[in-house]
Chain A
Amino acid sequence: MANPFLRRATEYVRDDASFLAIVSPAPLTTFLAKSKLKEAMFELPVRIIGEPGSGKTMLATLAEFKMVETIMRDLSTENHRGLATALADAGFLQDGKPHIAAVRIPMESDYRDFWELPYEPAVKTKLALWLVQARTMLGLLRNLTANRRRGLDDIRFIARESSEAQIEQIGGLTARGIRDRALEVQKAIYSIAAGLRPPPIENLPIAATSPYQPFEAIRAIEIEWQGESLFLSPLVMLDDVHALHPDQRDYIFSTLSRREIRFGRWLMMRLDALSPGAVLSAPGSQETHNLTTGRDFVDIRMQGHSERGSERRQFRIMALDMAKRYLPLVQSLKNRNADFAALLPGEPPSLSPGRLKEFSALVEKEQVKLGITNARRQEIDAIVSEHLAGSQSYDKRLEVHLSMARILMHRYANRVQHMTPSLFEDFDPDPKSPLKADAGVAEAARFQLSDAFNRPYHYGIYDLCDASNENAELFLQFAGALVARMETRVIRGKSPSLNASAQESALVEKARTIMDGWSFAFARRVRLLVDAIARECLEVSRSPNARLGAGANAIGIPEEEIHDLLRSENELALVLKHALANGAIVIRRNYGQGGRYWCLIELSGIVCLVHGLTFKRGGFLEKRVAYLQEASN
């Protein structure tokens, strides 16, 4: 039986109704409706930048006119009403009617081939751009007529002021004229790029070389909507622009940035389309083509765009919403009316009595070895108990208490090791800085229990969200692995909910499969790099006094060194860029600590899962660029 979570992308969903049943409006709200530059989004060029799987295509598919029309024609379902609200917030609806006629044009297929033609860059770009425009016009007409609510004769295009000269080039303002001209241009230009022997420039067909600029000529579209006429602003969403050659992309972007254009244009691309400097957010390395963000174009980043804590919270809401829509489609779980979060209980695991006894004995042995008096131990136990009593965490079992006490004992021993013992009293001085139990110590205690006793560490719905690094597709893959196990349990007549141990083993297995399947550029070097970082982080996290609190999952490189690296021609910058763009690492720039600024290279959720590291952020090891070079080779 098909598991909808394991269908990697919405591209596979075959009809509009099924797509609308599972699509979550959250990306529309998160990335568009809340943007400060919302007003300019249909006038200026917009670059939407995100990792693979961050939901760009889903967003574009949902915003297409045929989808908007399908939603607006039937608002009797709660699902459609929710989507309509999100579309209205994002500006696609106005007064309860469609306001934008959007079309998605995939760019991954053959536009890159134009760059290989033996002509001048300006000619190659012009050909590619005209082909894009012809396909946009055809796509728009298909979208407007898709639901069979109107024919071509019911559609009229409105020209921009003083564009009379261009109207004839685009086939007039009737839908039929525009369609015929677009078909002609498409066929002529396509034959040039698709052939094995490109014609000499002087033999290019006239249909391919005569001017064709519908983006500049058209400002609106008039259609019939529920008995009255409705004016729509056209919008083209160019998907996967990263597939173009960088120079080609620059040419196209600067052409589309012309102020005369009244046609909305969005360019959706993956992070790796940008230079390493821009990907790693180096100050001054924004690729602006002499244009200014906000004034000449708008940038929307689907990751790393806002404060990270709130980003995590936003993603949790979006992910849960997606899971809620997908779960009823799983046949074996359909009739149980189950809540996804409830199927992944956060009930803490417990050590078996035997292991607990063994651990307790070990802690006592260490107490003796460290020379800690019973009175001091009692004080430490009291500190731990006090913290756990006030803690919001539900994992407060005895083994966590013991493990925290063990960490504090080691910290105590470290703090008093240089004090001189007295001849006449028990050696039990107060440390200069008092011992404190906090969330970091508790997290370290859980990590150490996982490391030494295989006590489950990553489980529960929030860990699932955090493992996905704010990437919707990744979340679905992890959730899919968990749902597959739930299905097995149901088939065996058991309750579908998974205990902590089952959750963790499914997540780790999936993370391992994902890492093994990495096949992007420099994947081999990226794998070497993250494995090396993970090994060092593990070693530090294992230190008995948990000197980095919750543990490490990152390294810090001095900002100035990263700055120099990004300005150099070093291949390492490309390795970092691809690691970041493909979700192997997360970068945090200008992190101030110890009087210095650091560029933090954090391991992503996948890598942390595979190596059993914490998801908590902040713990890092200080390194140099030379280390990155060495570790990635």
Chain B
Amino acid sequence: MRNHWNNCITHFDDDVGTFIESFFGEEHRRCLLVGAAGFDPRSQRIAKMLSDVLGPRLSGIFIREERGQRDAELLGRADDNAAALKQLVPDCEILYVDVFGDDGAAIGGPRIAAKLGAYSIDGGITDIVLDMSALSIGIGFPAAKMLLSDCENVGRSFHLFIVSNPELDDSIVSEPADRPMPVKGFSGSEALDGLLDPARIWIPQLAKGRKAALTKIGLSVGECYKICPVLPFPARDPRRADGLISEYENELVNEWQVDPRDLVYVSERNPLDCYRTLSTLKQRYYKTVNGTFEPKIVLSPIGSKVMAAGALMAAIEHNLTVQYLETVRYEFNAPDNSTDKTEDMMVHVLLSGPAYGDYDALLRTEEI
């Protein structure tokens, strides 16, 4: 049980910079940054902030997701980002990960797990930072779970950083693959046939332009007792949730037959809101069907990375299934500079480390 996750140490926007300066400014800190070296313009933000403060005390692993069908323009952007990251973090390694196998199946998860498993982390590292901003779910989630387990075993601090920009996310168009599957390491108990009939709840996170992907995931999840779509609210654009409801009208009404009371609203800015909501939902649901059905919860966090981080925490803590659909190809329509540019939102979550001391033990004592 990670009781401290309910009240995790978090920082937002400008406070993230302040935190980095004060926390990583301590001379004894040596940090390993794990992030993406793809086309996403957010790839460099965190690396730059950390390298400014840590200098040579920062090392890095940058993951390059190889998807086969390459777009020359995106490839150019990715190369530029990789070169810039190398300059920012000279002590770094770039890991090339094939996202698809020779038969077109998504195998990024097993591949990143094997690569990270083979990587030996220097014993002097005090902090590991995972920058989820530009990592896909299929790679980012297994990496997070492995790194968290390493940090918990040896008592290192594990930080999650996300640079999020829902408007920028909307300008990245992705072509989904054709086989939904559980994220590696996040199969939960979904595939274990029990003695009782399963009663499944599917919790898809609605995102603009991802209808085809969610429909396929929904089909692969199969018979559900309930479907509870997650919508961003509060959100920077207060009408975003309404827009999504209107975009998914056919799915909500005809295909999934969602009861309007089952919509789940979580903050677009704070991953803990998503985590707490999903945790409460899980606890209540398991209590309700206990002994009658085999409760199963399946998450599909394919939209905003901040909300996905909350889902990641819930999936790790409660051993939930994460069903997703890999992306075959991205198209990125870089926003025109002349139009109103929306600012990036930044989030930091400290998931584990000495900072929490014996928080969990104290909490247990208080409960007794």
A6 touches B255 (CB 8 A): yes
- Supposing A142-B197, A186-B193, A520-B178 touch, asked if A112 and B105 sit within 8 A by C-beta, the answer is yes
A194 touches B187 (CB 8 A): yes
A196 touches B328 (CB 8 A): no
Residues of B within 8 A of A139 (CB): 193
B254 touches A519 (CB 8 A): no
Give CA–CA (A306, B187) in the complex, Å. 42
Fill in one digit per residue for B241-279: 1 if any A CB lies within 8 Å of its CB, else 0.
Answer: 000000000100111110000000000000000000000
A243 touches B105 (CB 8 A): yes
B254 touches A6 (CB 8 A): yes
B253 touches A110 (CB 8 A): no
Tell which of B142, B175, B211, B225 touches A523, judged by Cβ atoms closer than 8 Å: B175
B197 touches A187 (CB 8 A): no
Whether a CB of chain B sits under 8 angstroms from the CB of A434 is no
A186 touches B192 (CB 8 A): yes
Whether a CB of chain B sits under 8 angstroms from the CB of A195 is yes
- Supposing A110-B182, A519-B178 touch, asked if A8 and B212 sit within 8 A by C-beta, the answer is no
- Supposing A8-B215, A246-B103, A519-B176 touch, asked if A138 and B193 sit within 8 A by C-beta, the answer is yes
Tell which of A13, A113, A146, A186 touches B110, judged by Cβ atoms closer than 8 Å: A113
Give the residue among B142, B181, B216, B256 with the most A Cβ atoms within 10 A: B181
Give CA–CA (A405, B338) in the complex, Å. 59
Whether a CB of chain A sits under 8 angstroms from the CB of B355 is no
Q: Please give me the residue from chain A that is nearest to B174 by CB atom.
A: A519
Give the residue among A7, A118, A246 with the most B Cβ atoms within 10 A: A7
Whether a CB of chain A sits under 8 angstroms from the CB of B75 is no
A108 touches B179 (CB 8 A): yes
Whether a CB of chain A sits under 8 angstroms from the CB of B185 is yes
Whether a CB of chain A sits under 8 angstroms from the CB of B3 is no
- Supposing A194-B185, A521-B328 touch, asked if A245 and B193 sit within 8 A by C-beta, the answer is no
Within 8 A of B (CB), among A525-556: none
Residues of B within 8 A of A187 (CB): 192
A109 touches B219 (CB 8 A): no
Tell which of B182, B212, B256 touches A12, judged by Cβ atoms closer than 8 Å: B256
Residues of A within 8 A of B187 (CB): 109-110, 190, 194
Give CA–CA (A195, B109) in the complex, Å. 11
Q: Please give me the residue from chain B that is nearest to A131 by CB atom.
A: B191
Number of residue pairs A-B, CB distance < 8 angstroms: 109
A2 touches B257 (CB 8 A): yes
Give the residue among A108, A113, A190, A519 with the most B Cβ atoms within 10 A: A519
Whether a CB of chain A sits under 8 angstroms from the CB of B184 is yes
Whether a CB of chain B sits under 8 angstroms from the CB of A257 is no
Whether a CB of chain A sits under 8 angstroms from the CB of B107 is yes
Residues of B within 8 A of A39 (CB): none
Residues of B within 8 A of A11 (CB): 219, 222-223
Q: Please give me the residue from chain B that is nearest to A521 by CB atom.
A: B104
Give CA–CA (A187, B250) in the complex, Å. 39
Residues of A within 8 A of B184 (CB): 113, 196
B182 touches A109 (CB 8 A): yes
Chain B nearest CB, measured from A453 CB (Å): 33
Q: Please give me the residue from chain A that is nearest to B215 by CB atom.
A: A8
Residues of B within 8 A of A523 (CB): 175
Tell which of A106, A112, A142, A146 touches B222, judged by Cβ atoms closer than 8 Å: A106
Whether a CB of chain A sits under 8 angstroms from the CB of B335 is no
B146 touches A12 (CB 8 A): no
Tell which of B145, B179, B182, B225 touches A243, judged by Cβ atoms closer than 8 Å: B179
Fill in one digit per residue for A90-117: 1 if any B CB lies within 8 Å of its CB, else 0.
Answer: 0000000000000000101110110110
Give CA–CA (A135, B193) in the complex, Å. 7
Whether a CB of chain A sits under 8 angstroms from the CB of B87 is no
Residues of A within 8 A of B145 (CB): 196
A8 touches B113 (CB 8 A): no
Whether a CB of chain B sits under 8 angstroms from the CB of A334 is no
Chain A nearest CB, measured from B189 CB (Å): 9
- Supposing A3-B254, A139-B193 touch, asked if A110 and B181 sit within 8 A by C-beta, the answer is yes
Q: Please give me the residue from chain A that is nearest to B211 by CB atom.
A: A517
Q: Please give me the residue from chain B that is nearest to A105 by CB atom.
A: B193
Whether a CB of chain A sits under 8 angstroms from the CB of B288 is no
Whether a CB of chain B sits under 8 angstroms from the CB of A333 is no
Whether a CB of chain A sits under 8 angstroms from the CB of B117 is yes
Residues of B within 8 A of A12 (CB): 218-219, 223, 255-257
A109 touches B191 (CB 8 A): yes
Give CA–CA (A5, B242) in the complex, Å. 25
Within 8 A of B (CB), among A5-20: 6-9, 11-14
Which size bracket describes the interface of B in this complex? 35 or more
Give CA–CA (A110, B181) in the complex, Å. 7
Q: Please give me the residue from chain A that is nearest to B143 by CB atom.
A: A196
Q: Please give me the residue from chain A that is nearest to B111 by CB atom.
A: A116
B222 touches A8 (CB 8 A): no
Residues of B within 8 A of A521 (CB): 104, 177-178, 328
Q: Please give me the residue from chain B that is nearest to A273 by CB atom.
A: B103
Give CA–CA (A116, B181) in the complex, Å. 14
Whether a CB of chain A sits under 8 angstroms from the CB of B171 is no
Give CA–CA (A146, B197) in the complex, Å. 9
Chain B nearest CB, measured from A536 CB (Å): 26
Q: Please give me the residue from chain A that is nearest to B117 by CB atom.
A: A197
Within 8 A of B (CB), among A309-349: none
B255 touches A196 (CB 8 A): no
Whether a CB of chain A sits under 8 angstroms from the CB of B220 is yes
Residues of B within 8 A of A115 (CB): 101
Within 8 A of B (CB), among A480-528: 480, 517, 519-521, 523-524
Within 8 A of B (CB), among A242-276: 243, 245-246
Residues of B within 8 A of A190 (CB): 187, 191-192
B215 touches A245 (CB 8 A): no
Residues of A within 8 A of B225 (CB): 14
Give CA–CA (A138, B192) in the complex, Å. 10
Residues of A within 8 A of B182 (CB): 109-110
Within 8 A of A (CB), among B165-206: 175-182, 184-185, 187, 190-193, 195, 197
Give CA–CA (A196, B329) in the complex, Å. 26
B107 touches A116 (CB 8 A): yes
B103 touches A196 (CB 8 A): no
Chain B nearest CB, measured from A422 CB (Å): 66
A7 touches B255 (CB 8 A): yes
Residues of B within 8 A of A108 (CB): 179-181, 220
Chain A nearest CB, measured from B126 CB (Å): 23
- Supposing A196-B146, A517-B212 touch, asked if A245 and B254 sit within 8 A by C-beta, the answer is no
Give the residue among A3, A186, A520 with the most B Cβ atoms within 10 A: A520
Q: Please give me the residue from chain A that is nearest to B222 by CB atom.
A: A11
B192 touches A195 (CB 8 A): no
Give CA–CA (A166, B114) in the complex, Å. 36
Give the residue among B103, B114, B180, B192 with the most A Cβ atoms within 10 A: B103
B113 touches A197 (CB 8 A): yes
B181 touches A8 (CB 8 A): no
Chain A nearest CB, measured from B120 CB (Å): 14
Fill in one digit per residue for A53-78: 1 if any B CB lies within 8 Å of its CB, else 0.
Answer: 00000000000000000000000000
A8 touches B219 (CB 8 A): yes
A110 touches B110 (CB 8 A): no
- Supposing A108-B181, A110-B187, A186-B193 touch, asked if A196 and B219 sit within 8 A by C-beta, the answer is no
Give CA–CA (A449, B330) in the complex, Å. 42
Show 26 A/B contacts (Cβ-Cβ < 8 Å), sorted by A: A1-B253, A2-B253, A2-B257, A4-B254, A6-B250, A11-B219, A12-B218, A14-B224, A108-B179, A109-B181, A109-B190, A113-B110, A115-B101, A116-B101, A135-B193, A142-B193, A142-B197, A190-B187, A194-B185, A196-B113, A196-B142, A196-B185, A197-B113, A245-B101, A519-B178, A521-B104
3 smallest A-B Cβ distances: which pairs? A116-B110, A6-B254, A196-B185
> Given A2-B257, A8-B255, A11-B223, 9 more contacts at CB 8 Å?
A4-B254, A12-B218, A108-B181, A109-B190, A118-B114, A142-B197, A183-B195, A196-B113, A245-B105
Residues of B within 8 A of A (CB): 101, 103-105, 107, 110-111, 113-114, 117, 142, 145-146, 175-182, 184-185, 187, 190-193, 195, 197, 211-213, 215-216, 218-220, 222-225, 250, 253-257, 328-329
